[in-house]
């Protein structure tokens, strides 16, 4: 089984006239796995090497503020959807800001129009009406169970994504997994070390390694 977290080779060309801090480089390079090419500075590009297509990546986005799944992937072919949501339902197909039809029954929110082509070419799929089998009505417990991967068990110490990393053979470097945010989330906590990259203003703060005397 191949490790989907294994780093890909990249060709990086940088201009000495446009210096970039180590912190800023790491923050921007973190999206390399999600795109074929990423701009690091006005005169620097990072691109996948020719053989990188065989190296897979897993990107997990946890929407902690919740998301209304019925208004993201809309069951517009179900009359009960419009009956139950007379004021907040997404408009029908063909209407202004209406649903973008996928298969005659489900459709996309119009704000997600850019994803339609990926659905058409088979590189995008949706899993609707799925979730934890645990019946808890606590938002906090449910979130914890989703990250630990053990529904109903509050004593689990690590996250399922960290356990997935540990299942791959060989040594593990911290950059096999990157966490974007102020702290390492529950899903990545565990024995395997992971890299954490802050966002926003915190991402621009100099690190000790950014000091020339240390960097040299």
Residue pLDDT, tens place only, 71-83: 999 999 999 999 9
Q: How many CB atoms lie within 10 A of CB 216?
A: 5
Residue 179 has pLDDT above 80, yes or no: yes
Distance CA 213, CA 206 (A): 13
Distance CA 179, CA 96 (A): 38
Q: What is the mean pLDDT of the chain?
A: 76
Distance CA 12, CA 183 (A): 28
- Average confidence (pLDDT) over 190-216: 70
Residue 9: what pLDDT?
A: 33
The highest-confidence range among 23-27, 136-140, 181-185, by mean pLDDT, is 136-140
Six token digits for residue 126? 């949706």
3-state SS class at 174: helix
pLDDT band for position 47 (cuts 50, 70, 90): very low
pLDDT band for position 33 (cuts 50, 70, 90): very low
pTM score, whole prediction: 0.58
Q: How many CB atoms lie within 10 A of CB 172?
A: 18
Six token digits for residue 34? 């999600």
Residue 43 has pLDDT above 50, yes or no: no
Under a CB-based contact definition with an 8 Å cutoff, are residues 5 and 176 in contact?
Answer: yes
Under a CB-based contact definition with an 8 Å cutoff, are residues 99 and 108 in contact?
Answer: yes
């Amino acid at each position: 089984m191949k490790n989907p977290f294994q780093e890909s080779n990249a060709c990086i060309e940088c201009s000495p006239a446009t210096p970039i801090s180590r912190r800023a480089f790491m923050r921007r390079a973190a999206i390399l796995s999600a795109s074929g090419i990423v701009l690091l500075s006005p005169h620097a590009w990072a691109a996948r090497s020719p053989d990188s297509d065989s190296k897979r990546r897993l990107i997990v986005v946890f929407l902690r503020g919740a998301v209304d799944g019925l208004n993201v992937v809309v069951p517009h072919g179900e009359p009960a959807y419009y009956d139950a949501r007379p004021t907040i339902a997404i408009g029908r197909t063909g209407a202004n800001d209406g649903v973008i039809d996928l298969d005659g029954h489900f459709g996309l929110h119009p704000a997600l129009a850019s994803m339609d082509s990926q659905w058409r070419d088979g590189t995008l799929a949706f899993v609707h009406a799925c979730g934890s089998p645990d019946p808890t009505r606590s938002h906090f417990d449910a979130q914890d169970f989703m990250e630990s991967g053990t529904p109903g068990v509050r004593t689990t110490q690590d996250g399922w994504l960290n356990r997935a990393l540990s299942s791959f053979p060989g040594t593990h470097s911290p950059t096999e997994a990157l966490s974007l945010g102020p702290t390492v989330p529950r899903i990545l906590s565990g024995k395997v070390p992971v890299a954490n990259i802050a966002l926003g203003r915190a991402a621009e703060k100099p690190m000790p390694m950014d000091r020339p005397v240390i960097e040299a």
